[in-house]
Structure 1
Amino acid sequence: MGMSGGSSNGPMSDINVTPLVDVMLVLLVIFMVTAPMMTTGLDVNLPQAQSGTLDETRPPIIVSVSGQSDILVNDRRTSLAELGGVIVQEKKAQTNPQVLLKADRSVPYGLVVQVMGALKAVGVEKLGMVTESPAAPTGG
């Protein structure tokens, strides 16, 4: 009688990792495609005004309101109800931060006032408004 290399009735001890590798590659591709979309800011059409320059020594907390009424704090999307909590967390990270409000000129005035009220409710006393410098007159 000859001896066989192994018993066909025993448990299979090899693990096939090919399906796992396939799934991991698909997940990697999905994350690579969606990651740039998560960090993109909003295109905000700012009003124009004459103003001074910003204090560049500390990074400010920037609250953005887009034309579609989306609210972002430092490029992270939030809602009006959650805005206060997000600002409190940002204020814990740095002492006496500069807070700037960047609102699209097409945003309803009422929404801007609500955002300002939410900021005041969590102790933001000084609020800067981000504007564009007016274009220099052309001609000669």
Structure 2
Amino acid sequence: MAMGSLSNSDDDFNPEINTTPLVDVMLVLLIIFIITIPVMNHSVKIDLPRATNQPNDSKPENINLSIDAEGKVYWNADVVDPAELNARIAVAAQKTPQPELHLRAERTTQYEKVAQVMAAAQSGGLSKIGFVTEPQGK
């Protein structure tokens, strides 16, 4: 008995692998997995909180404080004296959320007046101070 010989006679053994049984086994395993996977899926019921789409934070108003060349102070376009300025700063500092102070001064304004307004804002309790400038071309 000559198994695996490479002769050309018709009685010899054919060394090619028959893949039909392998494909059958693979298809049977695939069907078994398709049937058993949904059964094995264990889910846990969780009561998740609901989200809202409304923002919770509110933007504070901005206080526009302007100082002209003569040293006059404007609170949102209203002229105020130093005593009224201190009173308005104290009221604004108590608000929640605290407003931001936007300080704008003319180019020829004395720095002393700007420093006085900044000191009044700091002593009054305003912690957010921003300086508004204009581009060089204007």
CA distance in 1 between partners of 2:127 and 2:75 (Å): 17
**2:88: which partner in 1?**
86
Q: Computing the radius of gyration over CA atoms, which structure comes out larger, 1 or 2?
A: 2
1:77 deviates by 1.1
CA distance in 2 between partners of 1:100 and 1:94 (Å): 17
Q: 1:64 to 1:94 in 2, by over 3 A?
A: farther
Query: Which of 114, 117, 126 in structure 1 is aligned with 2:116?
Result: 114
Report 1:46-125 matches (<5 A): 58-92=60-94, 95-125=97-127
**1:133: which partner in 2?**
135
Secondary structure of the 2:89 match is helix
Give the TM-score normalised by structure 1: 0.50
Could you tell me which runs of 5 or more consecutive residues in structure 1 were left unpaired when the two chains were aligned. Answer: 1-56, 136-140
Give the TM-score normalised by structure 2: 0.51
**2:92–2:126 CA contact under 8 A, matched in 1:** no
- Partner letter of residue 103 of structure 2? L
Q: Which runs of 4+ in 1 moved over 4 A?
A: 91-94
1:82-113 deviation per Cα after TM superposition (whole angstroms, max 9, x unaligned): 21101223345652111110111111111110
Structure with more relative contact order (C-alpha pairs < 8 Å, separation 6 or more):
1
Q: 1:75 to 1:66 in 2, by over 3 A?
A: same
Secondary structure of the 2:136 match is coil
CA distance in 2 between partners of 1:125 and 1:90 (Å): 11
How many residue pairs match? The answer is: 80
Percent identity between matched residues is 29
CA distance in 2 between partners of 1:98 and 1:69 (Å): 21
Q: 1:96 to 1:58 in 2, by over 3 A?
A: closer
Report the RMSD for the aligned CA atoms in angstroms.
2.1
- Partner letter of residue 130 of structure 2? G
Q: 1:90 to 1:75 in 2, by over 3 A?
A: farther
